[in-house]
Structure 1
Amino acid sequence: MSRIRVVAAGVSPMVAARTMSAAAGSSEGPGSAAGGTGPGSPSRMVKLAGVPGSEPHKVNDMLLLRPARPGAPLRTPEGTRDTEQHVVFFPGDIQNFMEEMVLHAEGIQWQNWSFERVALILGHHFPRHHVWVVRAARMYLHKFSSYCNFVESNLFGAPEHSADYGAVRHLRALLTNGLERAGLKSAASVFPPPGFSLVLVGFSKGCVVLNQIVHELERAQADPELAPFLSCVTDFYWLDGGHPGGSGTWVTEQHVLEVLAASRIALHAHVTPYEVRDPMRSWVGHEHRRFVQILKELGAPLSNTLHFEDEPASIDNHFRVIVEF
């Protein structure tokens, strides 16, 4: 979110009940877990605190939700084992671990969109995937997320994109170390393993990470260490991107989008009137239209969806796009 409004969260009763039931009994200390699939089964939800990234001072807390799949691992139609499928989600402002959100007045109002509950929602979207939620390195005033480990950002999280900041390298290191910490790979094993696939999802402020990765694509694809990792990315999902800067909410540079289109990564843009029809931030809608126009002209595999088109713009629907995409 580019700004926070103090209103009640509008979560559908069905989604709230389902996620609250699934999250019941969770404990969120380092390495703790919740939601096992039965007696003696591994826990599904694990919090990983201080996962190191590309440099010693760059660490991020992460939440992992393992897929709910009792019995033998399934295989996709392409033959890829589901244990090798992963989704990484970058949240927006005010979203946090539940234990943090309930400590602050604004956080309590939005607790239906905590990391734990969003992970469960994404688990319904991607039932065969491991779901990773990455916490921003800084949260100013407990609500303004700054993804400064991925992109140069000010205190409020407004980004300064460049071609060489290192978001791709940091994400690769986070996943390598996160998988090891969660017991999903050994320290000596090759990463990424054969059949590994990755879906990247950004919501609101979290879309700045996707945008930075797009800016880095050309150089990263030429890097012998990063290229195999990038080749595993199958999809980008932008969910109602927004940040407090005065421009750059969507990528509009022609050459950068040419590189993205040529990658043949499946691209998905899901927006609501809250972001793209705000008269006080008209550049967001203009940039979104330009992003879509250029990529379509380039023949990129892009889907673009405007949700809640006939409803008034609201922060409730802004969050609900996480359910509806």
Structure 2
Amino acid sequence: MDRWTGVLRVPVQPNRSPAAVYCRVAASLRLSAVPPPSANLMFFTGDRVEGSGNPVVDRLSDLSTIADVLVSKFGPSSNAWVIEAPAFHGPFSVYREFVPGTNRYGEPKSYDPSGLPASASLVSLLRNCLVQVEEEISKRKKDIAIGLVSSPLCCLPRTIILGFSKGGTVINQLVAELSQAEVLSLGLLCGRVPSTKEELLNSIEEVHYVDVGLNSSGAYITDGSVITRIAERVARGGKSIRFILHGTPRQWGDKKRAWIRREKDRLLRLLDSASRQTDRRITVTEKLYFADRPPDLQMHFEIIEKLEVDPVAGS
């Protein structure tokens, strides 16, 4: 048993109180500690699309399918976590536990890093997920001691965060929080997932915006002070970080929501400037998919399967 895969209903909070908020999480986890997992891939999904009648859309709406796609792209030494919003208003995903102050449609008022809320919720969610995985494995294989939660590793795996569609709001919040995080040395830290907000933020090495978009402003983070502070923390010894903006004509070419492209272009300019300031320890890449096709819903989901990424080291 080298890998565990499954879909769990996981509490966001550290305990399972009656008022706990839950997320559905599809996990595909490397169980062997030798060699240790090389990366944790954390993918946040968007709004629900039910009964589309399109087999591509339906298949790539499935959390388990997305987890399999991620492992196939980034490599078998990685762990994949595909996280669905804790709440929905009709089809609209609402990540309020990660992005405080969102309205009932899941649209953010701002990205306020105070208290590092997205990092706190994500660390708690991942740890609760590992506990449930151990419980599931112990039920099936009582003679196997996995030790997912407690077993030490030589170093903390790198973190790669991906936000698809509305899931980009969580990516923006994490980027805002990264700009406020204390710089830590992770060389001596052990574990399968980060155990603190600061460990999580310091382990982030790649940020993927995957055809993000909203029916309001805020699809991309455009606060220049956030990117400036990230450049400053990289200069102080923080990890190098890659930003990859993946998009399709459905979002970047939508004339009724022209702010999506404007926000993307502004973030691109800000990151280009930060790249020059940090001797390319911050890098940014823009990738357009399906440029020769008219916009449609299928390409919005199909981009998940077509993502161009670099496999992680050790895969």
TM over 0.5: yes
1:240 counterpart residue number? 211
The aligned residue for residue 296 of structure 1 is 272
- Given the two structures, how large is their TM-score scaled by the length of structure 2? 0.75
Is 2:163 aligned against 1:212?
A: no
Q: How does 1:88-237 map to 2 (within 5 A)?
A: 88-94=42-48, 105-106=51-52, 110-113=57-60, 114-127=62-75, 128-141=77-90, 143-152=91-100, 153-160=102-109, 161-164=111-114, 166-183=117-134, 185=147, 194-221=155-182, 225-237=196-208
Q: Measured at CA, do residues 116 and 223 of structure 1 come closer, stay the same or move farther in structure 2, by a change above 3 Å?
A: same
RMSD: 2.7
* CA-CA distance at 1:73 after TM superposition: 6.7
- Give the direction of change, closer, same or farther, for the CA distance of 1:171–1:206 in structure 2 (3 Å limit): same
Q: 1:254 matched to which residue of 2?
A: 224
- Retained in 1: the 8 A contact 2:12–2:22? yes
Output the amino acid matched with 1:65: S
Matches within 5 A, 1:273-292: 273-292=249-268
User: TM-score, normalised on structure 1?
Assistant: 0.73
Q: Is the contact between residue 211 and residue 300 of structure 2 (CA under 8 Å) also seen in structure 1?
A: yes
- TM-superposed CA distance for 1:64, in Å, is 0.7
SS of structure 2 residue aligned to 1:290: helix
- Displacement over 6 Å in runs of 4+: none
- Structure 2 Cα separation of the partners of residues 248 and 317 of structure 1: 22
**Residues 1:188 and 1:323: Cα distance change in structure 2 (over 3 Å):** closer
CA distance in 1, matches of 2:27, 2:130: 9
What are the ranges of 5 or more consecutive residues in structure 1 without an aligned counterpart? 1-40, 76-80, 96-103
Cα distance in 2 between the residues matched to 1:107 and 1:211? 31
Residue matched to 1:14: none
> What is the alpha-carbon distance in structure 2 between the residues aligned to residue 202 and residue 196 of structure 1?
19
- Aligned equivalent of 1:268: 244
Kindly tell me: are residues 154 and 194 of structure 1, through their superposed partners in 2, closer, same or farther at Cα, counting changes over 3 Å?
same
- Equivalent residue letter for 1:259: R
User: Structure 1 stretch 50-59 or stretch 312-321: which is displaced more?
Assistant: 50-59
Could you give the per-residue CA deviations for residues 87-122 of structure 1, whole angstroms, max 9, x where no partner exists? 111011116xxxxxxxx5348863211112111111
CA shift for structure 1 position 221: 2.8
| Letter in structure 1 aligned against 2:59 | N
Higher relative contact order (CA 8 A, sep 6+): 2
Number of the residue aligned with 1:305:
287
Match of 1:15 in 2: none
Query: What is the percentage of aligned positions where both structures have the same residue?
Result: 24
Q: Could you tell me which residue of structure 2 aligns to residue 11 of structure 1? A: none
Question: For residues 170-226 of structure 1, what are the alpha-carbon distances to aligned partners after superposition, in whole Å with 9 as ceiling and x for unaligned?
Answer: 111111221232226465567x97232211111111111000111122333379943
Superposed displacement of residue 308, structure 1: 1.5
User: Separation in 1 of the partners of 2:179 and 2:222?
Assistant: 15
CA contact (8 A) 1:157 1:243 kept: no
**How many residue pairs align between the two structures?**
265
SS of aligned partner of 1:148: coil
CA distance in 1, matches of 2:33, 2:3: 16
Is residue 12–residue 122 contact of structure 2 (8 Å, CA) maintained in 1?
no
Q: What residue ranges of structure 2 are gaps of 5+ in the alignment?
A: 135-145, 186-195, 276-281, 308-315
User: 3-state SS of the aligned residue for 1:87?
Assistant: strand
Q: In structure 2, the residue corresponding to 1:198 is in which secondary structure?
A: strand
Match of 1:66 among 22, 25, 29: 29
AA of the residue aligned to 2:274: L
